[in-house]
Amino acid sequence: MKLRPLIPVFLFATGIAIAQSPAAFTSDEQTPAPPAMARSFDLTAIDKTADPCEDFYQYACGNWVKANPIPSDQVRWARSFSLLGERNRYLLWEELDAASKDPKTPLQKKYGDYFAACMNTDLIEKEGLEPIKPALDHIAALQDSKSLSTLLGGLAERGDPAPLFRFGVQVDEKDASKQIASVSQGGISLPDRDYYLSDSKRFQTIRQQYREHVTKMFTLAGDTPEQAAKEADAVIKIETALAKASTSRTALRDPENRYHIYTVADFQKLAPDFDFAVYFKDVQVRPFDTLNVATPDFFKALNELLASEPVDSWKSYLRWHTIHGTAANLPKAFYDENFNFFGKTLAGQKEPTPRWKQCTGETDRALGEAVGQDWVKAHFPPKAKASMDQLVAALDKALADDIKTLPWMSDDTKKAAEEKLALYRNKIGYPEKWRDYSALVVKRDDPLGNARRSAVFQRNYNLNKLGKPVDEKEWGMTPPTVNAYYNPSMNDINFPAGILQPPFFDPDIDPAVNFGGIGVVIGHEMTHGFDDEGSKYDGHGNLREWQTAEDRKKFVERTDCEVSEYGGFEAAPAHGEVAEAKLNGKLTLGENTADNGGLRIAYMALLDVLAKEGKSINDKIDGYTEEQRYFLGFAQVWCQNETEQAARQSAMTDPHSPGRWRVNGSVQNFDQFGKAFGCHKGQPMYPENSCRVW
């Protein structure tokens, strides 16, 4: 399932025990304190020494940025997402902590035990590497590279890390009524293929630091320093070859580049030395005749690698992924070393995240719709859902009006766009039907086993979809999540209860601020259905051209404008031997288009609402017109601080622009902003020429 989230989900580890950021390895902590609530509109955040027409982000956020340094356990700190995320996580922790001590229902017993096991670091320390010994023993018994299919299938079947590639079930891109098998590239540990391939001084240094890290992890696992260094070299050689064989994430944004239907027999010919029939049998997927091979060239290169690398190198590679993929639930020495590289070195995080935060996140990912049932009862009343329904309806009308008046689009394409919009599905708050977790076994004294069984449960849940009708009501995020997404194959927009809270949505504040906050979020997700990627899917979720050839040409000209514009924005400054990092205009195109479209249609919806309420866009509150408060409310969603390391990593891997450019890039493309703040044509935020798609 291809999701288009509003913000990225940051993962610093791979495998069956993924934490959103490495956490402190101790359960002997003080009781967490409730975090502060973020205000929906913050006058104190505004830097009035800045000119909004020169740098609106600085004007709207300057004082907040100055007064809110990044906490030591974070790599970025955002006024809206971070503060609300911390609040939701605290409320979720309260629920989990209570369930771990005094569960009231069988479901609470299950997720309470999962949380309690994760928090039991004394047990983790005592067990050492014993929980991963079976996987390590299977790897040690590997006889030759042609037996990798049996080994990987067995590892996956038991829930152990099984790298090299990703296999699962997806909605058929060209027939969204079907669910088909799909296989794609994988197998690397660093954030992106370019970390292995770039010749820049920075990446040469990172690769050396990575080699040292892998060596240390092998040493902790019992290798001599010499053997550990040899194994690390083998790991990096294989991962570098896999990186070279991988398609770039920018190229994969084009759905045609990741859709290649093969018969199973023809797919096997791409990599004859890997017995996929054995692998498919071991992971217990039902028989199938065809599948989507997202990255065919990767599997051709994989076959060559199987022939060229000795079996001992493959053992080292798999040992590494077993240790690395379970580091969150291994003894403190492994945990700390994992954090030192993936948290501190790569992302600039000063200290590990407290263990309670990690375990809260892990439990939410493992049992999200179990935990979510109780969470929404306490924190998402029916009236909030009803208010959101009204907001979505207002934005839906605004986007329909926008389509009708687009100057560059022909009537035939407008009709097709209107038909697609009419078929949007709106999911608000939480699923209509909760997922059944009865098959997931949770043991209070088996933290790594719980993670392993959760991996198997999630895999089986996915593989069991093969050949079945698509469940249009399924969710891809848990209820407490502070995010939102559009799914092109489902043609739906999804807003978890977690984001439908202040500062995004506040029923007690003026409409301008709400439309600048949650309104733009709604518009953002709606626009994703019409960005450079979403516009290639029709209203039924099928990958099919519905624009005329001439309109598609005009569309590309307009998106190319955004590619050039955002590609000129700075992600991180140059210093010493480290070059300036620019945004990747092609990688961020979809999100930038959604930001621009969301800002425009939420503004249109605000005008409609104010008119119905007998109010004017020029009414003033606290010295600002409703129009100005709309733009300030939008900008203050994206106030943030970020480590340089995280900013550079995001510039390469994240399809979202950083907060400054989500704000300035959007307002400089919307003339109404310049008029609202009395700017003069030619100023940075009110340029002579701007970009517009929707």
Pairing of strands 492-496, 581-582: unpaired
Closest Cα partner for 630 from 640, 643, 620? 620
Domain with 195 in it: 129-329
Looking at the structure, tell me whether residues 530 and 436 fall in a common domain. yes
Predicted pLDDT at 29: 52
pLDDT of residue 34: 81
If asked whether residues 319 and 362 sit together in one domain, one would say: no
268 shares its domain with 372: no
Does 139 reside within a domain? Answer: yes
Same domain assignment for residues 317 and 377? no
387 neighbors 507 (Cβ within 8 angstroms): yes
User: What CATH number should be reported for the domain holding residue 587?
Assistant: 3.40.390.10
Inside any domain, residue 111: no
For the record, the structure tokens of 567 come out as 């590609």
Q: What is the pLDDT of residue 575?
A: 87
Q: Is residue 15 part of a domain?
A: yes
Domain closes at, from 329, 349, 382: 329
Domain count, the chain: 2
Residue 211 shares a structural domain with residue 287: yes
Domain identity same for 278 and 378: no
Question: Does 335 reside within a domain?
Answer: no
Instruction: Indicate whether 336 belongs to any domain.
Output: no
* 239 touches 189 (CB < 8 A): yes
Chosen domain end from 308, 329, 350:
329
Residue in this structure with the two tokens 């996929």, named with its chain if needed: 276
Residues 274 and 375 both lie in one domain: no
The reply to whether 385 falls in a domain is: yes
Cα gap 580→250, rounded to integer Å: 20
| CATH code for the domain in which residue 204 is found | 1.10.1380.10
Residue at token pair 């000209």: 557
pLDDT in tens, 42-54: 999 999 999 999 9
Other CB atoms within a 10 A radius of the CB of residue 40 amount to 23
Quote the crossing angle between the two packed helices 106-119 and 447-463, to the nearest 10°: 130
- Verify that 256 and 371 share a domain, yes or no: no
| Pair 308, 424 in one domain | no
Any domain includes 142: yes
- Pick from 314, 329, 344: which residue ends a domain? 329
CB 663 within 8 A of CB 642: no
Same domain, residue pair 325 and 362: no
Residues present in the chain in total: 694
Question: Does residue 337 lie within any of the structural domains?
Answer: no
Splitting the chain (694 residues) into consecutive groups of 10 residues, what average pLDDT does each group show? 66 30 49 80 96 98 98 96 95 97 97 98 97 98 95 96 97 97 98 97 97 98 98 98 98 97 98 97 96 98 97 98 97 98 98 96 98 93 87 95 95 98 96 96 98 97 96 95 97 96 89 96 98 98 98 98 98 90 98 98 97 95 97 97 97 97 98 98 97 95
Whether residues 485 and 621 fall in one domain: yes
Do 86 and 166 have their domain in common? no
DSSP labels, 327-393: GGGS-HHHHHHHIIIIIIIHH---SPBPHHHHHHHHHHHHHHHHHHHHHHHHH--HHHHHHHHHHHH
Cβ atoms of 123 and 447 closer than 8 Å:
yes
Prediction pTM value: 0.94
Phi and psi at residue 427, to the nearest 5°? -115, 125
